[in-house]
Structure 1
Amino acid sequence: MHVSPEPITTQEEAAQEREKLLDFFARGLYCTTAHVALGDSGEPSEEALTKAKVVADDYLAAYEEWLVQLAARNAETDPQ
C-alpha cells in the first residue's frame, strides 16, 4: 500500500508535522533503548519522551539540513 500525504502548504502545517515526527522518533528511541537496556516495553513517561525528543530533534534538524542541501544541488544540476 502506498500512502501519499497531503502537501504541506503553511508554516503551521509544517510545524505540526515536525512535532508528529519528533514524537514518533522519540518514542522509537525510548522503546529501543528501554527494551535493550531494561527489558521494558511499556509506555514511556513524559520525562523520558521529553529527553528523547531532544535527541530526535537533533537528528531531524540534521536531516532537514541535508534535504535543503540536496535540493540546492539538484537545482544547480543541468537536467540534460
Structure 2
Amino acid sequence: MNAVPDPITTQEQAAAERETLLGFITRGIYCTTAGATGADHGQPSGEALALGRTVADDYLTAYEEWMVKLAADNAAAGPQ
C-alpha cells in the first residue's frame, strides 16, 4: 500500500497537522509509560494528557527545527 498525503500549502493546514501529530505522540507517550509501569491502559486523565502533550510539543518543536536546518543545509549545498 502506498499512501501519499496531499501537500500542506497553508498555515491552517500545517497547524491542523501539527495538532494531529501532537495528539498521536501524546497518546503514544501515555501508552508507553502506562505499559512500562504496569498501569491500566484505560482512558488517560486530563492531567496525563497535559503532561504528555508538553513532552510531545518539545519533541515536535525539536523535529521541526531539525527539518528547517536540514532544508537550509540542502539548499545551501546547491544542485547535486
2:67 aligns with: 67
Unmatched segments (≥5 aa) in structure 2: none
Residue pairs, 1:1-80, within 5 angstroms:
1-80=1-80
Write the deviation string for residues 22-73 of structure 1: whole angstroms up to 9, x where unpaired.
0000000000001111342222122211110000000000000000000000
Given the two structures, how large is their TM-score scaled by the length of structure 2? 0.92
State which drifts further: 2-11 or 60-69: 2-11
Inter-partner Cα distance in structure 1 for 2:29 and 2:19: 15
State which drifts further: 65-74 or 7-16: 7-16
SS of the residue corresponding to residue 43 of structure 1 reads coil
How many residue pairs align between the two structures?
80
Say what the alpha-carbon RMSD is for the aligned residues: 1.1
State which drifts further: 50-59 or 36-45: 36-45
Unmatched segments (≥5 aa) in structure 1: none
Post-superposition offset of 1:21: 0.3
Given the two structures, how large is their TM-score scaled by the length of structure 1? 0.92
